[in-house]
């Protein structure tokens, strides 16, 4: 008996999809593109993981930055990449595609001698396949001798291990050399050799899934029903026909006279915005039920709903829903014909998919601008010295990150651009400020067009905004600040950035803890749902309880609260950390001047060199992390 620690392993295509951002025009007129992971097998592996299955992938990627992008994305999505090989000679496949209109979705496949089509028998480990409940094969990987041999070896391994086999027909005529490169969107060309290939493997399958066109190429007959009957003569596999807006039909046994006489489950009527990736979304959802031995009706409902959500969005893998999102849609549906305009579904999608988990964060914040400008001027240092100093801070953070997976930085792009670029692409959590320092009402550092600013940022950069806000501010000031934060949130959603909202009320105007709680409540009431809060540490359990209650009520998907330092002594922070220990909503700290002011002054004064400055900041940071890590013990001592 094999230990089945994986639900699904997919084998097949892996590419980077370059999706045209504009719609309603040919690829030749696209002016910008968004990059996503793609390829049938890769999409299914990602989709299965999003829907709660433990998934793995067998494929190859190139030894270059596109291959690194695929591997990193798979890891972040929770896909096992132990058998994603890096090809030392071949490039990662690329696909350029777009939305021409509601019936035309042009593709150009860049797959000549690409990495995933070099998959060989040597890449197939029978012991790995034996760990899975199901192996998903894709038809494209029978189109060339090398990948066909690898796929057939995988079939033999699955049969020997008792791993069930599912086939996604995934018929791409261009991959079989049946169309020109410019006709990549063509989904059906009749071909007796392709039919013969597919029919030679169906007897080994337990599940076969395809569109009506794909069923016809596999069955080799002029009609879908005749093709299903031809397949039934060759295999006992359950046959699933995807029928677009009509849903799907399942045939576990004899084939009836028409598709509706199978186990037919209709889909919901929605706008089809983009058919690309719909089949992979359907397969991910269907597998979610199939692997768990759910009823055929349930499998179909999962597949239809997942496919519907995908066709309503831009992209393939990134459009596939999470389990929570799928269940919500099945339970509640949507009042919107255009699902992408449903704010509840879109928010659920945004906060439950494609986000790296950060259960805890220790952040070195050095996005200070005017403070370091004043310090440099006081020490007689040139302004450009600040950029060099921030590079030292970044090195200190990277040194600490070498020993920990919970390290972050907050860096500005005024003095810290080079440091920011150096950290981007690493395992650091990264945030970046947008506010004009000291501005009340809030203004943005690079001008009022915040959307345009964020479009130039990497999606991995969290948008940090400090707003000096107090509930007792004059109405005109308060409303202006609220309008700016709402505009910022809309820009973050449109550009797919997380938002960290830092709220610092004026302490001279009364109890700061009360003001923080009231401010958080007010922002929630007007519709601001930041991914992160950065707040002054509450000084009482009651205020912590109020914050926890507010966040639980308004936004259970909030990432949590990070405590800011306000340039206080480490021993004060230690007490603040201890008080936060009993409150799960507190996920860490983002502290700056407490850790960097002393070393910055020494370096700008010329009394410390680069190595000494790095060492001093690193020591301060490590010491504060140790205080954070010990907060549970400290909390118990204080409560006793």
pLDDT, average across residues 216-227: 95
**Residue 548 CA neighbour count, 13 Å, CB half:** 15
pLDDT in tens, 25-48: 888 898 999 999 999 999 999 999
The SS3 of residue 162 is coil
First to last CA, the chain: 52
Neighbours of 347 (CB within 10 A): 15
Cβ–Cβ under 8 Å, residues 190 and 217: yes
pLDDT score recorded for residue 244: 87
Residue-range domain boundaries for the chain: 6-352, 356-433+578-640, 441-564
What percent of the chain has pLDDT above 90? 83
pLDDT score recorded for residue 253: 96
pLDDT in tens, 336-345: 999 999 999 9
Q: Looking at the predicted structure, is the pLDDT value of residue 184 above 60?
A: no
Instruction: Give the whole-angstrom CA distance, residue 577 versus residue 360.
Output: 13
Instruction: Give the whole-angstrom CA distance, residue 148 versus residue 153.
Output: 9
State how beta strands 15-23 and 33-38 pair. antiparallel
Token pair, residue 476, equals 């005109």
pLDDT, average across residues 3-23: 93
Residues 6+ apart with CB under 8 A from 233: none
pLDDT, average across residues 368-379: 95
pLDDT in tens, 251-301: 999 999 999 999 999 988 898 887 778 899 999 999 999 999 999 999 999
pLDDT, average across residues 534-544: 96
**Structural domain 6-352, CATH architecture:** 3-Layer(aba) Sandwich (3.40)
Question: What letter would DSSP give residue 203?
Answer: G
pLDDT in tens, 134-169: 999 998 888 889 999 999 999 999 999 999 999 999
Question: What letter would DSSP give residue 118?
Answer: G
pLDDT score recorded for residue 141: 87
Q: Where are the alpha helices (DSSP H) in 78-179?
A: 126-129, 145-161
531 vs 180, higher pLDDT: 531
Which CA distances in Å does 171 have to 145, 240, 588? 17, 15, 49
Instruction: Give the whole-angstrom CA distance, residue 223 versus residue 215.
Output: 9
pLDDT score recorded for residue 639: 44
CATH class of 441-564: alpha beta
Instruction: Give the whole-angstrom CA distance, residue 69 versus residue 58.
Output: 16
């Amino acid at each position: 008996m094999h230990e089945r620690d994986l639900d699904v392993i997919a084998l097949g295509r892996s590419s980077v999809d370059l999706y045209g951002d504009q719609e309603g025009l040919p690829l030749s007129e696209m002016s910008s593109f968004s990059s996503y992971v793609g390829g049938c097998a890769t999409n299914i592996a990602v989709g299965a993981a999003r829907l709660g299955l433990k998934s793995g992938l067998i494929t190859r990627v190139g030894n270059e930055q596109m291959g690194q992008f695929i591997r990193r994305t798979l890891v972040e999505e929770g896909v096992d990449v132990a058998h994603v090989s890096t090809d030392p000679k071949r490039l990662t496949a690329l696909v350029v595609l777009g939305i021409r209109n509601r019936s035309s979705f042009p593709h150009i496949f860049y797959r000549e001698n690409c990495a995933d089509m070099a998959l060989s028998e040597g890449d197939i480990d029978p012991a790995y396949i034996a760990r899975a409940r199901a192996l998903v094969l894709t038809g494209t990987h029978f189109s060339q001798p090398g990948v066909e041999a690898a796929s057939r070896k995988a079939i033999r391994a699955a049969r020997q291990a008792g791993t069930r086999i599912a086939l996604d027909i995934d018929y791409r005529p261009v991959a079989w050399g049946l169309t020109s490169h410019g006709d990549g969107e063509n989904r059906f060309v009749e071909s007796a050799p392709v039919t013969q290939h597919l029919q030679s493997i169906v007897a080994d399958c337990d599940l076969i899934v395809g569109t009506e066109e794909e069923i016809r190429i596999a069955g080799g007959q002029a009609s879908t029903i005749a093709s299903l009957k031809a397949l039934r003569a060759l295999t006992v596999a359950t046959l699933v026909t995807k029928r677009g807006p009509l849903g799907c039909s399942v045939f576990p046994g004899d084939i009836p006279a028409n598709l509706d006489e199978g186990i037919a489950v209709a889909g919901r009527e929605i706008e089809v915005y983009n058919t690309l990736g719909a089949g992979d979304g359907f397969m991910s959802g269907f597998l979610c039920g199939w692997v768990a031995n759910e009823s055929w009706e349930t499998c179909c409902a999962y597949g239809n709903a997942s496919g519907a959500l995908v066709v309503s969005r831009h992209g393939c893998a990134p459009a596939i829903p999470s389990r929570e999102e799928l269940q919500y849609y099945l339970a509640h549906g949507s009042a919107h014909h255009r699902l992408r305009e449903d704010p509840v579904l879109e928010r659920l999608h945004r906060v439950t998919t494609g986000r790296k988990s950060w259960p805890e964060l220790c952040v070195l914040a050095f996005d200070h601008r005017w403070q370091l400008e004043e310090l440099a001027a006081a020490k007689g240092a040139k302004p450009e010295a600040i950029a060099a100093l921030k590079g030292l801070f970044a090195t200190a953070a990277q040194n600490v990150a070498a020993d920990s997976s919970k390290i972050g930085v907050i860096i500005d792009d005024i003095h810290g651009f080079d440091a920011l670029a150096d950290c981007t692409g690493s395992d650091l959590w990264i945030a970046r400020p947008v506010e004009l320092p000291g501005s009340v009402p809030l203004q943005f550092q690079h001008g009022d067009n915040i959307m345009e600013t964020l479009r130039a940022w990497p999606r991995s950069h969290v948008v940090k905004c400090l707003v000096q806000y107090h509930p007792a501010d004059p109405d005109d000031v308060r409303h202006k600040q609220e309008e700016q934060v709402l505009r910022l949130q809309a820009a973050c959603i449109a550009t797919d950035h997380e938002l960290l909202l830092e709220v610092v009320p004026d302490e001279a105007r009364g109890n700061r803890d009360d003001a923080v709680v009231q401010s958080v409540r007010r922002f929630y009431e007007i519709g601001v749902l930041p991914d992160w809060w950065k707040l002054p540490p509450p000084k009482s359990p009651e205020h912590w309880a109020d914050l926890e209650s507010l966040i639980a009520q308004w936004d259970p998907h909030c990432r949590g609260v990070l405590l800011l330092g306000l340039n206080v002594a480490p021993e004060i922070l230690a007490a603040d950390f201890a008080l936060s220990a009993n409150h799960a909503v507190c996920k860490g700290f983002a502290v700056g001047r407490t850790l960097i002011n002393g070393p910055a002054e020494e370096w700008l004064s010329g009394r410390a060199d680069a190595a000494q400055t790095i060492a001093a900041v690193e020591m301060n940071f490590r010491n504060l992390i140790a205080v954070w890590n010990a907060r549970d013990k400290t909390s118990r001592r204080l409560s006793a």
